Chains A and B, each alone.
Chain A
Amino acid sequence: MSISVAIIEDDVRLQQQLTELVNSSDRFTCAGAYTSAEEALREIPRRPADVALMDINLPGMSGVECTYRLKKLSPATQVMILTAYTDNEKIFKALAMGAGGYLLKRTPPDQILSAIADIHQGGAPMSGYIARKVVQSFALRTGPNTPVLSPREEEVLALVAKGYVNKEIAASLGLGVETIRGHLKSIYNKLHVRSRTEAAMKFYGGKES
C-alpha cells in the first residue's frame, strides 16, 4: 500500500512539482495539496495522510503552529518540514512541536522521496545540529513538572551532537542500534512535552485543550 502524502506549500509552482514528484512513484500518493495552514487543518482530518510535507513559511498561520495543531488533530500523521533556507530557529521549533524531520527545498528529488519513506517508518533521525539545539533547549529551566533527560539519554545526545551516527553510538556504548533509536525517540518525546506545554501557553492562552 502506498504512502499517502499531504503537501502544504503556498508557492503554487513548487506545490505542483512536489505533487508530481510524489505521484511519480508508485510508493507514494498525494492525498491533497494545500496553500495554507488553515486549509490543511480543515482538510487533512477528512482526507488523512501518512506524511505531511509542510512549508515552514506560510501566509497566515505558520508551519510551526500548523505542525502543533496537526499533531493534535491527526497524531498519526508524520510532519516533514520543508524550508527554502536554513531557518534554524523555526526548524527546531517545528521539531519541538512534533515534526519528525526537515528537508531543505534544494534536496535532490530522490532524497526527498527516501526521506518521506524514512519518516513513515517512524525513524526519529537526529542530526548533530538538532542535537545541539536539543541540548540547549533542555539547558533552559522550565516548570517543575517538565521532564528531564536521563543520564543515558544525555550521553546519547552528546554523541549525536558530536556528529556520530546511531551505529557508531551503539558500538561505543555497547548497546544495540534499536536501543539508541529508542533513546532518541524518548528524547524527542520529552522535548515535545516541554515544548508543547509552552506552545499551549502561546497558542491557546494557558491550557492544553
Chain B
Amino acid sequence: MPSKLRPELTCCLPLGSSKVIAQTLGRMAALCFCLGMILPWTESAQGALLWSHFQPILVRTNGLGHDVLKGAVGVRDDTASGTLYIKFRVEPRSDIVTRFEPDRNYFLAGLVLFYRGVEKLGIGNAWDAWGYSAFSPSQDVPGNQPGEIDLSSANPEHPPAQHEAPRRSIKRTLVVKIEYVPEDKDRVTVWLNPDLSPGANEYLQNSNIVTRFRADASFDEIRLCHRGAGEGWIFSDLALATAFEDFVPIPFWERKWVISLSLVVLCGSLASLVVYQQQRRAGKRIRELKHEQALAEERTRIARDLHDDLGVRLTEISLLAGVAESQESTREQLSAALRQASKVARETSDITDGIVWSVDPHNDSLQSVADYLVQFAEQFFQLTPIRCRFDVPTNLPDQVVSSQFRHHLLLAVKEACNNAVRHSAATEVWLKMALSDGTLAIVVEDNGRGFDPQTCAEKGNGLRNLRARLANLNGRLEIQSAAQGGARLSLVLPLPVPI
C-alpha cells in the first residue's frame, strides 16, 4: 500500500471530477469504517436470548428439583399468549437400568416447568417412559404411558419404535417450542437433538426428531430435577428465546464482526485505491510538470541563444553593411567591412546549425553526437592550417542524449577546438572519443606549443567557459600540457541515465 499522500499535492493539483469522486469514495470508506467498528458491539454470541445459563449444572437426587430461572422471565399462566422456545442440553451420568433401585423413589430426570409449586410440562426421562419423553399429566397419547409422550429420535433404541433411551455420557440437546393459547392447552413442539448449525431453523429439521402435542405449559419456575436412581444428569446450555433462530449461531458470513471486518477491509481497500489513484495522478502530473518545466527551460535557452549569438551577429552584419554603404568609406574600409560581414554571416550560419542540431530530436543518439562532432571538427579545421584527425568509434551503443546535453557538449567541443586554433600553433589536432562505464571522454589533443595550465587558467575566458559548460553536464575538464609542447584537453562526462 502506498504511503501517505502528501497533502500539498492533493490540494494544489486540479484533479477535476476525479477529485469529487475521490472525496465521495473517501467519505464512504470512512462511513464503512465507523459502521464496521460499531457493529461488533451490538451483537451477542447467539442472537437475542431472553435468558440463558450455559454452564453445566449437575443435578442428582434433588426431589422436586430447584429453580434456575429465579424470576428472570415473566410468569406464563393460562392467560399467556405468544411463543417461547426453551433449549437445554443433558448428559446422563449413568444408564438408569444399571442402578435401578426401586425402593428409593420413582425415577425422574429432566427440565420441569412449575407453576405455583405444581409440576406442569416436563421434558426428560421417567421411570415409566421408554426413553426421552415429555411429561404432561393433562394429555394421554395412544401407545404411551398415561401422561407421557415419547420423543421421536433419529437414533431410536429399538427400531421401528422411535424413542431413544438416555445413555451414560451421550449428550442430547432438546429444544421445546411452546405456543401459548389463552385459556386452553398450549401447543408444544419438541425437537430431540435438532440441527443447530449456522443457518438452521425449525422448519428444516428432520421430521423424525419432532414431537408435537398439547399441554399446559404454564410456569413461574423452571426446575432441574433428578430423583430415583443413578448418578444424576448434567444440564448445560440452558436458554429461553422467542425464536428458534436465536439458538442458532449466526452463519459466518452473517456474523456482524465478519461483516464489520469485511466493511473495514473493503473501506481500507477503497481508501487505498483512492489514495493510490490520487498518487498516480499526482505522480503523473508531477512528471508532466517536470517535463513542461524542462521544455520551458529548453525554450528559454534557445531563445537566449538566438538572441545572444544570432542577434548580436546579425546586428554586426547590418552595421558592417552600413559602413559599406557609406559614401565616406575608403575602398579598403569597404573591402574590410564586406570581408568581416561575410565572416560573421558564416558564423551565424554555423551557430544556427548547432542550435538546429541540438534541438532536433532525430539527433538524440550518442551515434549522432559522434557523427556531428566529427563533421563539425572537419569543417572547422578545414578553414585553418591545422589538420584534424579522428579516433572516434564508428559504432556506438544506443544511448539517448538529451537536447540539453548535446547543446552543452557541442559548445564545449567548439571551445576546445577554438582554443587549439587560437593558441596552439599546432599542425595537427586529434579528436578522440571513448566510452567506458557510462562515462564519455572526449579528448582534443594538439601537437602545438603547449601551455602551462596554472598560468592560463585565469587568463582566458576559453577554459573558464569550457569548465562552466562541463559543470552543466556534471562533467569535468582535465588538462595535460607542458610548456615544451602538446596540449590535451579531456572532457569527461557521465552519460545521463536514460529516463
Contacts and interface: CB of A to CB of B under 8 A. Distances in A.
A14 to B, nearest CB: 13
B345 interface: yes
Nearest to A89: B362
A162 B393 CA distance: 10
B395 A162 contact: no
Interface stretch (A43-51, A131-139, A199-207): A131-139
Contact of A104 (B371, B379, B394): B379
A132 B392 CA distance: 9
Interface string B342-358: 10011001101100110
Contacts of B376: 86
A106 B346 contact: yes
Contact of A163 (B350, B363, B387): B387
Given A85-B356, A105-B349, A106-B349, A128 B374 contact: yes
B378 A128 contact: yes
B382 to A, nearest CB: 9
A129 B345 contact: no
A54 B362 CA distance: 23
A128 to B, nearest CB: 5
B350 A136 contact: no
A108 interface: yes
Contacts of B325: none
A129 B394 contact: no
B357 A85 contact: yes
Contacts of B362: 89
A127 B356 CA distance: 22
Contacts of B389: 162-164
B368 interface: yes
B342 A86 contact: no
B377 to A, nearest CB: 8
B265 to A, nearest CB: 58
Nearest to A85: B353
Contact of B375 (A88, A136, A165): A88
B371 A133 contact: yes
Contacts of A136: 367, 394-395
A139 B392 CA distance: 16
B128 interface: no
B374 A129 contact: yes
B352 A161 contact: no
A105 B345 CA distance: 11
How many B residues touch the partner, as a band?
20 to 34
A162 B390 contact: yes
Contacts of A161: 390, 394
A195 to B, nearest CB: 17
A86 B394 contact: no
B353 A163 contact: no
Contacts of B363: 88
B378 A129 contact: yes
Given A129-B374, A132-B374, A163 B395 contact: no
Interface in A81-109: 84-86, 88-89, 104-106, 108
Contacts of A165: 387
B391 interface: yes
A133 B371 CA distance: 8
A114 to B, nearest CB: 13
Contacts of B368: 88
A86 B357 contact: yes
A189 B375 CA distance: 22
B371 A132 contact: yes
A169 to B, nearest CB: 12
Contacts of B391: 162
B316 to A, nearest CB: 16
A92 to B, nearest CB: 9
A85 B378 CA distance: 15
Nearest to A165: B387
A204 B386 CA distance: 45
A92 B259 CA distance: 73
B127 interface: no
Interface in B329-353: 342, 345-346, 349-350, 352-353
A89 to B, nearest CB: 7
Interface of A: 84-86, 88-89, 104-106, 108, 127-129, 132-133, 135-136, 139, 161-165
Interface of B: 342, 345-346, 349-350, 352-353, 356-357, 362-363, 367-368, 370-372, 374-376, 378-379, 387-392, 394-395
25 contacts: A84-B349, A85-B352, A85-B356, A86-B357, A88-B363, A88-B371, A89-B362, A104-B349, A104-B379, A105-B349, A106-B346, A106-B350, A108-B346, A127-B375, A128-B374, A129-B371, A129-B374, A132-B374, A132-B392, A132-B394, A133-B371, A139-B395, A161-B390, A162-B389, A162-B390
